[in-house]
């Protein structure tokens, strides 16, 4: 399994997660995961983190994993090499001091060049896999805030930079759908939109992440654009 390491010290490793790779298993099917790579590359991390106990009693190890990004999202992911580092990073996520910056291509020309999407997120009524920030969502509505700015636009799409201030599942995807600009090639939240710019996967890239290391120093790591993002940037520049 080829995974590029963007940053590493004795406590943490930040990788550039490839598209199509899940962070850890759900216990339902066998496939390669970031957790497998972590265990293979750093065997001493076997007991780092918090395993999941499934309803059938099976235990899923999640070595060094404190946060996740979706299967079809590329980019920065922090992994912990020891339990002390894991607990310290977990606290930073809990305190919302980890800064995450994403780039995404969304459908349509986003008129407001910068803004804040402040819409609580609940479960979708129509599909158990989905979440919603629109009327009719069910269950507990949890606060969700995303700051964004538009980097480039054309008639059919916009390139946006988004900073989620909360960590809700699918937050960026759900928030941009709520303002009528769903992400390109999002089969779950924009199934009736024909993908543009050649995207064959969700047009979302975890560009940058900032956290405090065990010495108290702020670390910022950036993941380069993958090939499909580079191609799309050229196309939107041509059309804009």
Helix (H) or strand (E) holding 227: helix 227-239
Domain count, the chain: 2
Query: Is it the case that residue 47 has pLDDT exceeding 70?
Result: yes
| Residue 67 included in any domain | yes
Do 175 and 122 fall within a single domain?
A: yes
> In the block, which residue shows the tokens 């065997």?
43
Do 171 and 79 fall within a single domain?
A: no
Task: For the chain, give the number of residues.
Answer: 240
pLDDT at 114: 96
CATH number at 167 reads 3.30.2350.10
Q: What number is the average pLDDT over the span 223-233? A: 97
| Residue 77 included in any domain | yes
Contact 34, 15 (CB under 8 A): yes
Do 72 and 110 fall within a single domain?
A: no
pLDDT at 237: 93
Please state, for a pLDDT cut of 90, what percent of the chain lies above it: 79
Q: What domain range is 130 assigned to? A: 99-207
Do 105 and 39 fall within a single domain?
A: no
Q: What number is the average pLDDT over the span 22-46? A: 89
pLDDT tens-digit profile of 77-104? 999 999 999 999 999 999 999 999 999 9
CA-based torsion, 128, 56, 93, 204: positive or negative: negative
More confident position, 73 or 29: 73
Verify whether residue 186 is a known catalytic residue: no
pLDDT tens-digit profile of 118-162? 998 988 877 668 778 887 777 778 899 999 999 999 999 999 999
Contact 159, 103 (CB under 8 A): yes
**Active-site residue (options: 47, 56, 70, 213):** 70
């Amino acid at each position: 399994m080829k995974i590029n390491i963007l940053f590493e010290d004795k406590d943490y490793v930040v990788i550039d997660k490839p598209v199509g790779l899940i962070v850890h298993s759900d216990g339902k099917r066998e496939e390669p995961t970031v957790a497998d790579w972590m265990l293979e590359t750093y065997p001493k991390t076997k007991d780092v983190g918090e395993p999941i106990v499934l309803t059938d009693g099976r235990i899923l190890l999640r070595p060094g994993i404190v946060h996740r990004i979706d299967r079809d999202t590329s980019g920065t992911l922090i992994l912990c090499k020891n339990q002390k580092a894991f607990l310290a990073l977990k606290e930073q996520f809990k305190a919302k001091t980890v800064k995450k910056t994403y780039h995404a291509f969304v459908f349509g020309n986003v008129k407001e060049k910068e803004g804040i999407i402040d819409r609580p997120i609940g479960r979708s009524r129509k599909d158990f896999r989905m979440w919603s920030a629109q009327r009719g969502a069910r269950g507990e509505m949890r606060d969700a805030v995303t700051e964004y700015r538009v980097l480039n636009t054309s008639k059919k799409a916009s390139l946006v930079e988004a900073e989620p201030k909360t960590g809700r599942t699918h937050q960026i995807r759900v928030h941009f759908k709520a303002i009528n600009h769903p992400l390109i090639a999002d089969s779950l939240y924009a199934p009736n939109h024909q993908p543009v710019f050649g995207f064959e996967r969700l047009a979302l890239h975890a560009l940058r992440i900032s956290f405090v290391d065990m010495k108290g120093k702020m670390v910022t790591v950036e993941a380069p654009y993958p090939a499909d993002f580079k191609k799309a940037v050229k196309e939107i520049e041509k059309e804009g």
